[in-house]
Amino acid sequence: MKRVKIMVDQEYDVIIGENILNRSGEFMPKSKIYNKAYIITDDNVLPIYFESVGKSLEKIGLKVFKHILPNGELSKSVQALKIILEDMAENGFDREDIVIALGGGVIGDISGLAAAVYLRGIDYIQIPTTFLSAIDSSVGGKTAVNLEHGKNLMGAFKQPLAVIFDVVSLNTLNDEIFADGTAEAIKYGVLKSPSLFKKLCNFSRSSLMEIMPEIVSECVAIKGEIVSCDEFDRGERQLLNFGHTIGHSIEKCSGYAITHGRAVAAGMAVITKGAAKLGLIPNFSIYDQICEALKRHELPIKCDFSACEIYNSVLSDKKRKSENINIVLPAEIGRCELKKISLETMYSIIKEGLDG
């Protein structure tokens, strides 16, 4: 079993192991005795993992409640959040109780936000069940739901007390959902680690599975290092948004039919190509390398939306600052830079990135 410490104000561990979900109770923080656990999950995850997690929490004396959402991004809504909060109130939840997010990124994000706002904040734990949520959304305390204007527009920073990830849960993911996580792992490689990037270029899903605890802990350590320098996203943490400005727009334009990882994959390729064409990065070699890694895992490198559609959606993105926008550009594999550009340049990058 591996543990990666996330050194934020209230530090916590990401626990990565095999067949550990039925030991979830053991990993609960020892500093406090909780009475009730509110497990939020979805209809895909419920039949596979709820029982082992629930029983393990009952074993340590918790009364377990569950709340089941339909799987998919559309569950990350204000309406779904309100129903959760009303249900917690109806069942008498208070600050001696705890929320457990059991599922992928959607579940982690909405559960974290419920924990952040209920009674102005109660404790919660993340139990991610997808590759993507294990290496990204479960770590770092960003919680959110979507508004009609865009993704993650309503949210709060709220760190979990622990993250428990069972690598065995990856066995039940279809190839598309697994590749979603691979897109985020490729992002970490481009940001900070040429060696991780190389593994992702060379290995297929089955070979990656053999070294999954190592891959997950490397990604989580990279994220942890960035988050510990900038918990509240004022500077360096924005590097984690590589591919996300265009990625979020692709997701939104598709009505969330295109999954997060695939949209980020296309977002990384489009922004890198556009920036290379405009001379904002030195050459096309970084673009070629990123495309090679993405194609290895059958991830997209472009999308069918027009430059206007993507640009209009970017305008409502929360990363926009007045007439400028912060974007992340790779300088080389293993090093990226934040750059403030005008909206006009953003449009040109999108147009050039989508062309051809």
Contacting residues toward ligand GLY, per CB under 6 A: 136, 140, 142, 233, 237, 240
In the bound state with ligand GLY, the residue whose beta carbon lies nearer, of 112 and 353, is: 112
Question: How far apart are CB 337 and ligand GLY at their closest, in Å?
Answer: 16
Question: How far apart are CB 139 and ligand GLY at their closest, in Å?
Answer: 7
Question: How far apart are CB 263 and ligand GLY at their closest, in Å?
Answer: 13
Question: How far apart are CB 297 and ligand GLY at their closest, in Å?
Answer: 19
In the bound state with ligand GLY, the residue whose beta carbon lies nearer, of 191 and 281, is: 191
In the bound state with ligand GLY, the residue whose beta carbon lies nearer, of 225 and 233, is: 233
In the bound state with ligand GLY, the residue whose beta carbon lies nearer, of 42 and 109, is: 109
Question: How far apart are CB 94 and ligand GLY at their closest, in Å?
Answer: 29
What's the per-residue H, E or C state across the chain? CEEEEECCCCCEEEEEECCCHHHHHHHCCCCCCCCEEEEEEECCCHHHHHHHHHHHHHHCCCEEEEEEECCCHHHCEHHHHHHHHHHHHHCCCCCCCEEEEEECHHHHHHHHHHHHHHHHCCEEEEEECCHHHHHHHCCCCEEEEEECCEEEEEEEECCCCEEEEEHHHHHHCCHHHHHHHHHHHHHHHHHHCHHHHHHHHHCCHHHHHHCHHHHHHHHHHHHHHHHHHCCCCCCHHHHHHCCHHHHHHHHHHCCCCCCHHHHHHHHHHHHHHHHHHCCCCCCCHHHHHHHHHHHHCCCCCCCCCCHHHHHHHHHCCCCEECCEEEEEEEEECCEEEEEEEEHHHHHHHHHHHHCC
In the bound state with ligand GLY, the residue whose beta carbon lies nearer, of 240 and 325, is: 240
Closest residue to bound ligand GLY by CB? 240
